[in-house]
Amino acid sequence: MLDIKITRTTSPKAKPEGPLGFGRIFTDHMFIMDYTKGKGWHDPRIVSYQDLVLSPAAMVFHYGQEMFEGLKAYKGDDGKSYLFRPDMNGKRTNDTNKRLCIPELPVDDFVQAVKAVVKEDEDWIPTEPGTSLYVRPFIIATEPFLGVDVSETFMFIIILSPSGAYYEEGLAPVGIWIEDDYVRAVRGGMGFAKTGGNYAASLAAQVKAHDDGYSQVLWLDGVERKYIEEVGAMNIFFKIDGTVVTPMLSGSILPGITRDSVLTLCREWGIPTEERKISVEELLEAQKNGKLEEVFGTGTAAVISPVGKLRYKDEVMTISGGEIGPLSQKIYDTVTGIQLGKIEDKHGWRVEVK
C-alpha cells in the first residue's frame, strides 16, 4: 500500500468546452513516484500538473528506456467513477518492464496510484457520449549517463486527459493500409511491450498511409511479411464465414485488454473464435469469395473501430459495404455498455474509483 502525499493545485484550470479530440488537454494533477537503485520505489505523490525538469543526459532521451500504459475512467449514472480492468494494465506494465529492464511495480500499487489520481481529478471525467478520461501511466529512465546501460533511477508518472474519439471518424469505418515494406516488430524483439520505440518505428509507414488517405497501418509479420499482426494503436479482428479470427499472441503484437474482452464476449455468445496466423492471401481470398464479413480493431483509445477499407499493394478491399457490420456494432455496444454501467458486468471488469 502506497502512502501517497497529496499537494493540491492552487490554480485549478478551466474545464474544456466543445469537442475534446484525443490527448491534447490535461487535468489539474498528476501522480509521480521515484525509483532509486538500492532504495526501490519511493515518494509517491500527487502534485499539480506541471512540466518536468530532467537532465538533458537522462537516459530516456538517448536510448528510449521507457514504457507506457493506457486506460480510461468513466462516470457512471450513479455519479461514481469507474475504471475498466486496471489490474490488466498493471500486469502488462510488469511484462513490459521485464523486457526493458525497468524495475517492476506491484500491481496493487499501480492500481492504487491510478485510482488516487483519478479520484483527485474525477470532476474532469467528461460525460458526453463517446468521451472519457484517458489515463496515461508511464515510466522513464532518468539517470544522466550516455553509456548504453540500465538506468539506476526512474520516474513513474500518471497524467490524465479528457478525451473523445481517437480517430476523427468516430464510429464511422476507418481505412487501413496493409504495410508491405516497413515492419514494426519481430519475434524476440519488443512488439509485445508497450514502449515508445515500437511507436517511433511505426511513424514512417503511418505518414505514408496518411498521405494516401488511410487512418492507420496494419502490420505484417517481420520475417515473411505475409501474416497479419496488428494495427498502429489496436488489435485486429476479422469475421470470416461466421468465425471471428484474430492473430495469436506470438510475442510481436501487444496483448490488448480490449482484445481479451472481445474474445471472452464472443465465446460467451457462442460465436466460433480462432487465435491463429492469418495471411493476407487468406483475406484476399475470403474477400473474393464474399466470406470476409467484417473487420474491426480493438483498443483502449480506439475502443471498437470498424474497418471499411483495407489496402494491400494495388488491391483495395471494401468491407461490409464500407458500413459498420452488425457484430462490430454489437461488440461496441456491449463493451461501452459495460464500461459505462449500462449493461451488467458479469466479469467484474468495472472497478470503482474510491
Residues at the site binding ligand PLP, with contacts judged by CB under 6 A: 70, 230, 233-235, 254, 256-259, 298-300
| Residue 70: its H or E element | none
Nearer to ligand PLP, 230 or 294 (CB): 230
Residue 93 near residue 99, CB atoms below 8 Å: no
Quick one: DSSP state of residue 17?
-
Of 6-14, 111-119, 283-291, 293-301, which segment contacts ligand COI by CB under 6 A? 293-301
DSSP notation for 286-343: HHHTT-EEEEEEEETTTEEEEEEEEEETTEEEE-GGGS--HHHHHHHHHHHHHHHTSS
Residue 256 CA: distances (Å) to CA of 33, 36, 136, 233, 297: 26, 30, 15, 10, 11
Least distance to ligand COI, CB of residue 328, Å: 17
Secondary structure of residue 252 in the 3-state scheme: coil
Of 12-20, 143-151, 262-270, 299-307, which segment contacts ligand COI by CB under 6 A? 299-307
Q: Please give the Cα distance from 191 to 240 (Å, whole number).
A: 26
Q: Which does 254 bind (CB under 5 to 8 A by kind): ligand PLP, ligand COI, none?
A: ligand PLP
Of 12-20, 110-118, 296-304, 322-330, which segment contacts ligand COI by CB under 6 A? 296-304
Nearer to ligand PLP, 54 or 203 (CB): 203
Least distance to ligand COI, CB of residue 303, Å: 9
Of 93-101, 114-122, 295-303, 330-338, which segment contacts ligand COI by CB under 6 A? 295-303
Nearer to ligand PLP, 88 or 240 (CB): 88
Cell of residue 283, nine digits = 483475406
Cell of residue 62, nine digits = 538517448
By CB under 6 A, name the one of 163, 300, 320, 328 that touches ligand COI.
Answer: 300
Quick one: DSSP state of residue 15?
P
Pick out residues in 225-244 that bind ligand COI (CB under 6 A): 233
